[in-house]
Amino acid sequence: RSRPPGTALSLLFLLNVALVVTWQLLLAVTLTYRRDWPRNAAGAALGWAAWGLTYRLWYRLPWSPGPPGLG
């Protein structure tokens, strides 16, 4: 049987989740409150696309090291 993760690992995971949520929020706020909207929309779309490709495509490829935490 596998042991449950320790307190430090659980705290580190929660901090990483908070960092990702904060990044998404800041990206949305930057898109909303800047003057040059088309340029910011393109930048936000590129940022979200890079994030999505990393977590939905790259980690599933055979030569990828796998998602964080599976090592």
Domain ranges of the chain: 10-60
Does residue 41 carry a pLDDT above 70?
yes
Residue whose structure tokens are 């998404």: 24
pLDDT tens track for 8-30 = 888 998 998 999 899 888 878 87
Give how far the C-alpha of residue 23 lies from the chain's centroid of Cα atoms, to the nearest Å: 8
Does residue 37 carry a pLDDT above 90?
no
Q: Who's near 5: CB < 8 A, 6+ residues apart?
A: 13
